[in-house]
Structure 1
Amino acid sequence: MTDERTIAIRPGALDDAATVLRLLDAATAWLVAQGRTGQWGTEAATTDPRRIAQAHEWAAGDGLYLAMRGDTAVGALVVGAATAYVPPATEPELYVNLLVTDRAHAGHGIGARLLTYAAQLARERGLGLLRVDCYGGDDRALVRFYEGCGFTATDPFTVERPGRAPWPGQVLQRRLT
């Protein structure tokens, strides 16, 4: 579990795109080492022009938050509007567009802490629904992680990718009181 005193969450800034890319690269390398290439593939985010542009867009927006342990970013959260490939919500919501943590700090509850922060942001905005999508393939371990954080699986979906295998996704939601 996270020691609340050692993890602070701060808003992202323009120069945090490199931090997001570093976190994505480390997570991708960890997934590849585990033989779990279906989620993010095998290539580093820092070599993918689409991911680089996405990280810069997140850093320039107002939905990026970083989990900090001292001066080191150990996780990133991006919240905003739902992505186009998921079924739309039937009510106002806050959507988790990215959750990534530093695998060197795995097991410290950083992801759960960031999701709690996202729920807090949604409540502050008067929203009663927090949604996220994730990779729903293989053994669905990521789906189970989100379920363990209070989310309920709702809509499965598939993203067709020209020249590559389809990407199985799962939307999850968490009702906020």
Structure 2
Amino acid sequence: MTDQPTFTIHRGGPDDAEAVLRLLDVATAWLVARGRTGQWGTQPPSTDPGQIARADDWAASGGLYLAKRGDRPVGALVVGAATEHVPPATEPELYVRLLVTDRMHTGLGIGARLLEHAADLARARGLGLLRVDCYGGDDRALVRFYESCGFTATEPFTVVRPGREPWPGQILVRRLD
């Protein structure tokens, strides 16, 4: 028997956009409290019409999966096609569009397990490539997290944002057996 709380992964749907926004709000507040505002800024995503629309799209996409402890979402994964700001893959792939976890449950391996779920989904579709992009600025801690989950950093990129600082990104790939 383990004293670690467990979680399960479930497919999400259109009614789960609010849960995704709550997870994003918690993660953003955690980043802000640590002075790490380059990744997602300082404002709660649930107050940004663009982020609300994005969460609605993710929830309706068929690619949303939620990690839950009981009935409470503690992580979200969205998979699908690559985002528009990254170079296209040279072979069929599954792309991780979002990975976010509730920082109150750090240490349970939620993010790593959601990424393994993404790999399982890709394999089930006969795909040998899983890609993700992430914030590549500051101390590159997020890049190191993905590397610890079996990804390899490839191309860095920059998203130019009118009226705001450029956003440094990093593409990572994971080859699947």
Query: Under TM normalisation by the shorter chain, which class is it?
Result: over 0.9
Aligned length: 176
Q: Distance in 2 between matches of 1:87 and 1:107?
A: 33
Partner SS state of residue 143, structure 1: helix
Aligned counterpart, 1:62: 62
Q: Distance in 2 between matches of 1:128 and 1:38?
A: 32
The 5 A counterparts of 1:131-150 are 131-150=131-150
What letter is aligned with 1:172?
L
Contact persistence 2:132–2:172 (CA under 8 A): yes
Q: Taking structure 2 as the reference length, what is the TM-score of the superposition?
A: 0.97
The 5 A counterparts of 1:97-136 are 97-136=97-136
Aligned counterpart, 1:75: 75
Q: Taking structure 1 as the reference length, what is the TM-score of the superposition?
A: 0.97
Q: Structure 1 stretches of 5 or more lacking a match?
A: none
Partner SS state of residue 153, structure 2: strand
Partner SS state of residue 65, structure 1: strand
- Residue 13 of structure 1: how far off its partner (Å): 1.5
- Residue 3 of structure 1: how far off its partner (Å): 8.6
Aligned counterpart, 2:153: 153
1:143-166 alpha-carbon deviations (Å, 9 max, x no partner) = 000000000000100000001100
4+ long deviations beyond 2 Å: 2-5
Partner SS state of residue 156, structure 1: strand
Q: Distance in 1 between matches of 2:65 and 2:9?
A: 6
1:47-98 alpha-carbon deviations (Å, 9 max, x no partner) = 1000000000111110000001111110000000000110111000000000
Aligned counterpart, 2:49: 49
- Residue 4 of structure 1: how far off its partner (Å): 9.3
After superposition, the Cα gap between the structure-2 partners of 1:154 and 1:49, relative to the gap in structure 1 and judged at 3 Å, is same
Q: Structure 2 stretches of 5 or more lacking a match?
A: none
Aligned counterpart, 2:167: 167
Aligned-pair identity in percent equals 76
Aligned-residue Cα RMSD (Å) equals 1.4
Q: Distance in 2 between matches of 1:4 and 1:115?
A: 20
Partner SS state of residue 97, structure 1: strand
Q: Distance in 1 between matches of 2:71 and 2:58?
A: 20
Q: Distance in 1 between matches of 2:81 and 2:145?
A: 22
Aligned counterpart, 1:36: 36
